[in-house]
Amino acid sequence: MKNIIKKVLSAALAASLALSLAACSGGNNAAGSVSSSGSAGSASQTGDGKEYKVGIVKFMDHASLDQIESKVQQELDAKSAELGVNFNYADYTFNGQGDSTTLNQIAAQLVDDGVDVVVPIATSAAQVMQSVVTEKGIPIIFAAVSDPVTAKLVNSMDAPGGNITGVSDALNTDMIFDMMVAVNPDIQKVGLLYSKSEDSSKKPIEEAKAYLDAHNIAYVEKTGTNTDEVSSAVDSLIGEKVEAIFTPTDNTVMSAELAIFEKLNDAKIPHYTGADSFALNGAFFGYGVDYDDLGAKTADMVADLLVNGADPATTPVVVLAHETATINTETCQAIGLDLDDVKAAFATLGIGVEEITTAKSFE
């Protein structure tokens, strides 16, 4: 009966997302289908082989979230062998394709499946999962939620207070602008590009405005809720003659980056962003947490919850440190910046540089 339900759900999700799939970047997973990457962890011969059902829900396809999903799965496999249990995620991994209706259907399916924990990747996925699965007593360990307090997922970072905790990719917005100013001390106008529909963007955009106001730098805001709207927003920012553009950890813009970076290159406008995956997809610059580390830490928290009985209500949200700026060397050259000069500017702030070239996804 369960297999029949899954088939019906997959068909329903595929039909409901026929239009939205075109707006998502890349990805091989059909909405609502089991992920093709990874497999259920194999139990150690020395353990009791107890199976735990781990639901993994990725908000949409793009390089950052794909990277996190893959690392969570790899670490769960490692923990399965280490602890002598079976973290079965392969039967319970879903892709929400950026659609709230689909995410709600997935949440209902995971409840029906009786999973032991849900791992939503990104703020929007976490919010939908919280609204459905926590009512059934299923705990949540989220990944890549930039501001879980503002998103109303937890009461505080130190004491979440509910059946939910996880790992945050909170952004050091001021440092990004310090680096922007270090590269161009005379900058006069900055574009702010983001989606109003994403809670993860609200706080860093407020921080960006405060920074720019304090430094007497003008700014222009443009938003979009899909790739076409983001592309139009970029056209407007180019027309406004901004000298640089800032985007936080915004999934909507991230999914559109491959469609907009060449426009920005032609206009000689550097795009400063909140994750290295933006730079992988053509943006000039990315700065934020290491998503491999984030995925591994998320999986470790899942293991601690399920095997050791850790209480989400008293388990602090983990915030990883920011260490490295990622520069797309092809884009750096295309917009007329000298890589050595950029490195020297960042060095004055104690920031190292990791070099990358444009690709669709991480290897």
**CATH code given to domain 2-169+290-319:** 3.40.50.2300
Q: How many CA atoms lie within 13 A of 71 on its CB side?
A: 21
Give 159's DSSP letter: -
**pTM of the predicted model as reported, rounded to 2 decimal places:** 0.81
- Label the pairing between strands 285-287 and 324-328: antiparallel
pLDDT at 286: 96
**Spatial separation of the C-alpha atoms in residues 90 and 53, rounded to whole Å:** 9
Say yes or no: do domains 2-169+290-319 and 173-288+323-356 share a fold.
yes
300, amino acid identity:
D
Q: Give one DSSP letter per residue of 88-115, joined into a string.
A: E-GGGEEE-TT-HHHHHHHHHHHHHHT-
**Structural domain boundaries of the chain?**
2-169+290-319, 173-288+323-356
Residue 126: CB atoms within 10 A of its CB come to 30
pLDDT digits (tens, 9 = 90+) for 280-336: 999 999 999 889 999 999 999 999 999 999 999 999 999 987 777 999 999 999 999
3-state secondary structure at position 54? strand
3-state secondary structure at position 61? coil
Pick the CATH number of 173-288+323-356 from 3.40.50.2300, 1.20.1300.10, 3.20.190.10, 1.10.3720.10: 3.40.50.2300
> Which of 41-60 are b and which e, b meaning 16 or more Cβ less than 10 Å from the residue's Cβ?
bebeeeeeeeebbbbbbbbb
**Spatial separation of the C-alpha atoms in residues 51 and 35, rounded to whole Å:** 19
pLDDT digits (tens, 9 = 90+) for 19-41: 333 333 333 333 443 333 334 33
> Which of 240-250 are b and which e, b meaning 16 or more Cβ less than 10 Å from the residue's Cβ?
eebbbbbbbbb
Residue ranges for the chain with pLDDT beneath 70: 1-47
* Distances 189 to 134, 213, 244, 269 between C-alpha atoms, Å: 45, 11, 7, 11
In terms of DSSP H, where are the helices of 143-198? 173-183
pLDDT at 11: 41
pLDDT at 320: 87
Q: Give one DSSP letter per residue of 207-258, joined into a string.
A: HHHHHHHHTT-EEEEEE-SSHHHHHHHHHHHHHTT-SEEEE-S-HHHHHHHH
**Spatial separation of the C-alpha atoms in residues 202 and 193, rounded to whole Å:** 12
Tokens (6 digits) for 354: 């990791």
pLDDT at 45: 40
pLDDT at 302: 98
**Spatial separation of the C-alpha atoms in residues 27 and 49, rounded to whole Å:** 32
**Spatial separation of the C-alpha atoms in residues 161 and 163, rounded to whole Å:** 7
pLDDT at 6: 42
pLDDT at 49: 85
